[in-house]
Amino acid sequence: MGRHGTIAGRKAAQDSKRAAVFTKYARAITVAAKAGGDPDYNISLKHAIDKAKSINMPNDNIARAVKRGTGELAGETYEPGSFEGYGAGGVAVIVDILTDNKNRTTSAIKHTFDRFGGNLGVPGCVSYMFERKGVIIIERTDAINEDSLMEVALEAGMEDMVAYDDSFEISTATDDFDSVVDALKEAGYEFVEADIEYVPSIENAPESPSDIKNLTRMIDALEENDDVQKVYTNCSVELGE
């Protein structure tokens, strides 16, 4: 699995972009709620709400987003989509979006790729280098016993766990993600992040400092776009820290 950055770096990035992240998560909740407003019967909505709660999004914001999705409140209509391409140094990039204007978003994404030495490609041009996996990140603390954590996750269906200096990164098959999350929650573990993501099966390590700098700037610019939900790369080099 590719490294997701240090815990301190992730928390700092979340704090600096909290308002923007609230907007993105609210959109995800609204779209998921179109299929039903009860998270007990709508797994996509449950995932979206769990992610929002993980960054302390206020319950009122979550409730309003659900009501917009179910039609109880007026609001914009958002459609999901994705873009694929290459960043500086030939790094593969996938950009997940939710937008109310596909033409506007397409233009903005293409401009961002071009601006930082990348190339926006056609669907499928890089997705073959990734797998869909459940990814759960838990901060390492003195209270966590690695063997106990692994035992709980394995019994629930975990595929792999990687221990870092500051965290544990657990991977699952998409079908086993919910059972592993539920088992870990029941055992009292708290998550830095838990989501189904694109995990690179083929990685790329750009060697040029200028390529790494441009790739970092491109990802930052993409993530600042309200229409962008998440950016995935197959870069094996730490970025932005």
Show pLDDT as tens, one digit a residue, over the chain (241 residues). Answer: 445 566 666 655 555 566 778 889 999 999 999 999 999 999 889 989 988 988 889 999 999 999 999 999 988 889 999 999 999 999 999 999 999 999 999 999 999 999 999 999 999 999 999 999 999 999 999 999 999 999 999 999 999 999 998 999 999 999 999 999 999 999 999 988 888 999 999 999 998 999 999 999 999 999 999 999 999 999 998 876 4
- For residue 31, is it within any domain? yes
Residue 230 maps to a domain: no
Enumerate the H helices of the chain as residue ranges: 7-16, 18-33, 43-54, 59-70, 102-115, 146-156, 177-186, 209-223
Token digits of residue 74:
């007026």
Instruction: Convert 105-130 to b/e letters by CB count within 10 Å (16 or more is b).
Output: bbebbeebbeebbbebbeeebbbebb
By the 8 A CB rule, do 26 and 160 touch? no
CATH classification at residue 15? 1.10.10.200
- For residues 74 and 187, what is the distance between their CA atoms, to the nearest angstrom? 40
pLDDT at position 193 is 86
How many whole angstroms separate alpha carbon 88 and alpha carbon 22?
29
Residue 27 lies inside a defined structural domain of this protein: yes
Q: Is residue 139 part of a domain?
A: no
Token representation of residue 56: 């302390």
Provide the domain count of the chain: 1
Output the pLDDT for position 63.
Answer: 95
**pLDDT at res. 173:** 97
Q: Quick check: 57 and 25 in contact, CB under 8 A? A: yes
51 in any annotated domain? yes
Residue 4's pLDDT is: 55
Residue 55: phi and psi, rounded to 5, are -110, 20
- Its pTM stands at 0.84
Closest by CA position to 134, among listed 63, 51, 210:
51
Residue 14 has what pLDDT? 58
Give residue 18's domain range: 7-70
Instruction: Supply 175's token pair.
Output: 């079908």
Residue 18 lies in a domain: yes
Tokens linked to 23: 């907007």
80 in any annotated domain: no
The pLDDT, as a whole number, for residue 55 is 84
Residue 118 lies in a domain: no
Is residue 139 a contact partner of residue 167, using CB atoms and an 8 Å limit? yes
